[in-house]
Amino acid sequence: MDTRIAIPALEFRPAEPLNLLEVLEAQVRSLIAIGSPNEAGVTEAKYLDDAMNIARQYVWRLELAEIGFVDAVLVDYRLPGQFLAEAGGVYCVYPPDDCTLFNAIALPDGIVVAQFQWGTRNKGMSPAWSMEHFSPLEQGGTVKEGLTGFLYGGNDLLRLCYMDLPGSVSPGGFVPYLDLSDGGPYLDDGRADYAYPFCGSVSRGRS
């Protein structure tokens, strides 16, 4: 007689990172190091205090983690894209602040923590395809968000996946993307319906 007990398979559910607050604090200190308080018109002490208060209040969203949004990122939407590009050493084919938002994309004001995925989920798919297949819980990443992510992750982030940024529209009407070459990172644009093999569409969880 078989006396073994069947054990049901455990479903993987990505939990909140144990070091979430430490990660966010490191991001805040990176923003301070590049001069963000001066750009925002506040002291370093106030910037740190305000940003960390927002970080402490952030509630990890399991439903977003389950569909691939596993990177919590603190974004200061007051900071100009050109400022973020210069701080990260990104060469811009066009001024990033000349980009507009794609239809129905809304950006928050001030400092916000959000959950992101940096394109690997849709790697090799066109921005148009990605936008058509986004979950109702996500929206396309913008130039400012991509530049912020690169500021934190550096070249290692782009070595995994170049970033299509379908939440923005370039001055020429195309989709901006962050790429990496021997000369370093650069911001360019391309057709929404073309699938660059090394690119994937960045997106973040809706608020």
Each domain of the chain, given as residue ranges in start order, spans 20-205
pLDDT value, residue 18: 83
What is the pTM for the complete model shown? 0.91
C-beta separation of 145 from 202 below 8 A? yes
Which whole number is the average pLDDT over 147-163?
96
pLDDT value, residue 137: 95
pLDDT value, residue 203: 97
pLDDT value, residue 147: 98
Which whole number is the average pLDDT over 157-183?
95
Which whole number is the average pLDDT over 178-196?
94
**pLDDT tens digits for 13-53?**
567 788 999 999 999 999 999 999 999 999 999 999 999 99
Confidence of residue 193 (pLDDT cuts 50, 70, 90): very high
Reply yes or no on whether the pLDDT at 66 is more than 80. yes
**CA–CA separation, 138 and 118 (whole Å):** 12
CB-side exposure of 189: number of CA atoms within 13 Å? Answer: 22
DSSP letters along 39-83, please? HHTS-HHHHHHHHHHHHHH----HHHHTTT--EEEEEETTS-HHH
Reply yes or no on whether the pLDDT at 6 is more than 70. no
